[in-house]
Structure 1
Amino acid sequence: MVAALGACTDASDDVSGDTEPVTEDVASEGGEGGEGGEGGEGGEGGEGTEYSKGEQANADFQDQLGGAELLTALKEGGHVIYFRHAQTERDYADQADPSMSLDDCETQRKLNDVGIQQSKDIGVAFEAKAIPVGDVISSDYCRAWQTADLAFGRHEKNSKLNFLPFEEYTDAQVEEMQANVMPLLIAVPDSGENTVIVGHDDIFEAATGIYPAPQGLAYVLTPDGAGGFELVANMLPEEWADL
């Protein structure tokens, strides 16, 4: 799957830049210029009816591990689990809203009742399955750190997981988001632990070429210790309990 990822190229007519990692053939496009729909599908700002390249990459993704094998691997630790925050009550590109303040949750999109329950259920499943969790890292957005808190009871904010304040991104801005998040994705967790990251769709897409939908979806990555990682599985919120 994904090894060391290179620079992003090409501009996109969608809500974010079109990212094309140089060293791999995973494509990207669209993103959290708008998370579509009450059900949480799409990017944070809205998308059209046709799949972007990033959405297609998400749809085409094949798990390398699943079920009991995935659970065994997670119990051994060494993975980064990147969650797109749980479902929100409204869909709009609040990062581009000049009245939005990271210090004021009332100016941001909020988790809805479904998203709150998704977050709690994820935490219950991790505890029931005895999946070890080390660092829990979130963006500064309330919907991200609240997902982390509801699921894992703690979080450490890292602004590298934040959006740039635009609804549409240039190539350079996509590359900046990629450069921001990659160190978090390739960092090997402490022995016997997994790192949890709770962030957003565009940020993940910038690094992997995959647009993670719907909200609450997680990707399990295994850093290789040499500046790359393998994408091994994706998980919907309700799937953790069934591992």
Structure 2
Amino acid sequence: MILCRLACSALLLLLSALTASAVSADEEAWKALQEGRALLMLRHALAPGTGDPENFALDDCSTQRNLNDRGREQARAWKELLWKHGIGEARVYTSQWCRSRDTATEMAIGKVTEWPPLNSFFAGRGNGDMQTRQTIALVNELKPGLPVVLVSHQVNITRLTGVYPSSGEGVIIALPLSDNPTILATVMP
């Protein structure tokens, strides 16, 4: 009985230490984002379905998968989370897909600028290797300033980071970007 209590106590101490370590790592990731030593790359908020219809047209949102009400709520929740971590304004770059642009706009944390390299290349719609290289180059050319937020798609994030994000999930990545970036945290509002 005493051995069991000791083992349980040791396990609780270990879990507490691991939790504290994870919280500390997340706090450091947010601090790096706030200070411009990292960026936040997130997958657009919830837009039910997979891919886009065959009649997809970049300039016509009615031909694309779009955010639903839950997706719009997810996007707006980012503003509160960023504010909580001391980020009231950011430079926001987005894919030209409507669901990404709408996510970026609903976040309401700064001017939204379209970056074609952030466009989806799912199902052969682009060139993943080239777009990833372009994204790395564009990010690394940015001048110091407000924190940077990229809104893109699962395939783009996975190609760059190896992380498979859920809809609306973000990855805080250390700067400068490289072919093998340092992932500081995965976050979700």
Give the whole-Å Cα distance in 2 for the aligned partners of 1:93 and 1:82: 20
Give the whole-Å Cα distance in 1 for the aligned partners of 2:175 and 2:141: 6
Match of 1:108 among 53, 59, 64: 64
Residue 225 (structure 1) shift:
7.6
Partner residue, 2:158: 205
- Which is worse superposed, 226-235 or 117-126? 226-235
Equivalent residue runs for 1:49-88 within 5 Å = 65-67=25-27, 69-88=28-47
- Structure 2 vs 1, CA of residues 174 and 158 (structure 1 numbering), >3 Å: closer, same or farther? closer
Residue 78 (structure 1) shift:
2.7
Give the whole-Å Cα distance in 2 for the aligned partners of 1:81 and 1:184: 15
Match of 2:175 among 208, 219, 223: 223
- Structure 2 vs 1, CA of residues 189 and 216 (structure 1 numbering), >3 Å: closer, same or farther? farther
Question: What do the CA deviations read for 1:76-118 (whole angstroms, capped 9, x no partner)?
Answer: 2332110100111x21211xx4411111111111111111111
Larger of the two Rg values belongs to structure: 2
Give the whole-Å Cα distance in 2 for the aligned partners of 1:179 and 1:226: 9
Partner residue, 1:174: 128
Give the whole-Å Cα distance in 2 for the aligned partners of 1:174 and 1:226: 15
TM-score normalised over the length of structure 1? 0.60
Equivalent residue runs for 1:19-98 within 5 Å = 65-67=25-27, 69-88=28-47, 90-94=48-52, 97-98=53-54
CA contact (8 A) 2:161 2:181 kept: no
Correspondence 1:145 to 2:101: yes
TM-score normalised over the length of structure 2? 0.75
Question: What do the CA deviations read for 1:191-236 (whole angstroms, capped 9, x no partner)?
Answer: 4x31000000111222223322x11110001113888742111101
- Structure 2 vs 1, CA of residues 226 and 217 (structure 1 numbering), >3 Å: closer, same or farther? closer
Structure 2 unaligned blocks of 5 or more? 1-21
Identity, in percent, stands at 26
Give the whole-Å Cα distance in 2 for the aligned partners of 1:132 and 1:140: 24
**Residue type of the alignment partner of 1:190:** P
Matched residue count? 167
- Structure 2 vs 1, CA of residues 226 and 188 (structure 1 numbering), >3 Å: closer, same or farther? farther
- Structure 2 vs 1, CA of residues 168 and 103 (structure 1 numbering), >3 Å: closer, same or farther? closer
Residue 167 (structure 1) shift:
1.6
By percentage of residues, which structure has more helix? 2
Structure 1 unaligned blocks of 5 or more? 1-61, 238-243
